[in-house]
Amino acid sequence: MELNPHRRFNPLLAEYVLVSPHRAKRPWLGQVEDPQNYNTPGYDPKCFLCPSNPRTTGHKNPDYASVFTFPNDFAAVLPPPMPALPSVTHPLLQIEPVVGACDVVVFHPRHDLTLARLGDVEIINVIEEWCRIYVERGNQPDIQHVQIFENKGSLMGCSNPHPHCQVWSTSAVPTTVAKELESLSRYSLSDQSASSPDAPKGLGGRPCLLCDYAHLEASDLTASRVVVKNNDWIAVVPWWAIWPYEILLLPYRRHVLSLLNLSTTEKLSLASIISQITIRYDNLFSCSFPYSMGIHQRPTPKKKGLKEEVDDHDVAHLHFHFEPPLLRSATVKKFLVGYELMAEPQRDLTPEQAATRLAACSNIHFTNAAGATGD
C-alpha cells in the first residue's frame, strides 16, 4: 500500500480519492511559489485590520487589545430584504434566494501573530469568540448555517496578512456540509456491525460515524495516521485525505454537537492542540504554513426550549478540517486540476507518510528554537 496505487473511500462525502504513492518521485519543473516567510512587522500602518487604523470604507478600528470582530465590509451575502429574483422558464435552470451576514474575527492586535505563535490563553479567547458569534448569528431568524473558517496565507487567497478568520452565516445549508450531515444521518440509522462497543455513541445511543472513526484512530496502537493527541482531542491525517498534509481534528471521548457543548477543560485542550497542529505545520518546511481551516458542527445552535428534543442536525459531530496546499517544500504546492477536476481527487504520498512527517516535527516553533534568528 505504501507504493501501489489504490483508491480510498471518504465516508463523510461518499466519494473516493486515488492514492498514487509512486508519483512522489517524479521530477518537478512546474510552478514554484514564493515561500510564506515570517517577515511581517508587529504593526503595519497600512493594514486595514490593525488597531486604530482606518478601513477602506472609512470606518476606524478601535484600539482593541484582544479579539476584534466586525461585519465584513465586502460581504458575500447580504441581510434581508432582498429584491425578487428573475423568473426562470425551464426546470434545469433553478435559482433560489440567499440572505445572511459575513463577519471578520481578528485573532490578536499584533499583525504578525498567527495561531502558531499565539499562547493557549490567547487561542481560548478566539474559541470563546467563535462560540459568541455562532450563537449570535445562529439564532437570527433567517440563518440556517454558520460557517467559521480561516484562509491563512496569500497562497490560499487571503487578502490581508493580519491573522484573522471569517464567519459566513447563510439562509441555506451549504453543499459540502449538507453532504456530511446526510452521511452522518445515514450512518446513525444503519445497523453498524463494525461499530466498536467501546466507542462513544451519538444522541439516542445511535452510532456516530465520527465517534467511531475517532475511536478507531485513537485505539490504533501503531498510531500510523495520528499527528498529535491529548486527553480530549485527536488530530489525524485522515484515511481519505486529499491534500498532502490535511488534518482532521475532532473530540474522541464523547459525541459533541458544537463548540457550545465543550467544557472548560475541553476548550483548554482544544486551544493546546490547535497550537500544536499549527506549530508543526510551520516547522515542517520552516515557513508560515498556508492552509484553509473550517469548523463543522451543528449548522446552528439548538433553539431555546428545544434543547431536549432530538432533531435531524443532532447527528453532527464537531470537527475541524485543515487543508493545506504545500506538497514537497515551502515553494511547491499541490494543484487540483485535470483528472482531479474531471474525475476524482488524487494524492501522491500516503496519509500515513504525511502523518509520520508531521508527528516528527517539534512542538516548539522554529522561530523560538535554540539558535533561531529573526523575530
Residue 54 DSSP code: B
- Please tell me whether residue 60 adopts helix, strand or coil conformation: strand
**How far apart (Å, rounded) are the C-alpha atoms in residues 191 and 300?**
28
Q: Comparing C-alpha atoms, which of 250, 263, 261, 265 is closest to residue 199?
A: 250
> Does the pLDDT of residue 142 top 60, yes or no?
yes
Most confident of 19-33, 145-159, 253-267: 253-267
Q: Is 162 a catalytic residue?
A: no
Q: What is the pTM of this model?
A: 0.94
What is the reported pLDDT for 372? 59
Average pLDDT (29-49) is 75
pLDDT band, residue 191 (cuts 50/70/90): confident
**How far apart (Å, rounded) are the C-alpha atoms in residues 340 and 244?**
14
**How far apart (Å, rounded) are the C-alpha atoms in residues 177 and 229?**
25
pLDDT, tens only, 90-136: 999 999 999 999 999 999 999 999 999 999 999 999 999 999 999 99
pLDDT, tens only, 316-367: 999 999 999 888 777 777 888 899 999 999 999 999 999 999 999 999 999 9
Q: Residue 340 is which amino acid?
A: E
> Does the pLDDT of residue 296 top 70, yes or no?
yes
Annotated active-site residue in 108, 111, 145, 164: 164
Percent of the chain topping pLDDT 70? 91
pLDDT, tens only, 198-212: 899 998 889 999 999
Q: Comparing C-alpha atoms, which of 184, 116, 99 is closest to residue 150?
A: 116
> Where do we find the cell 485543515?
322
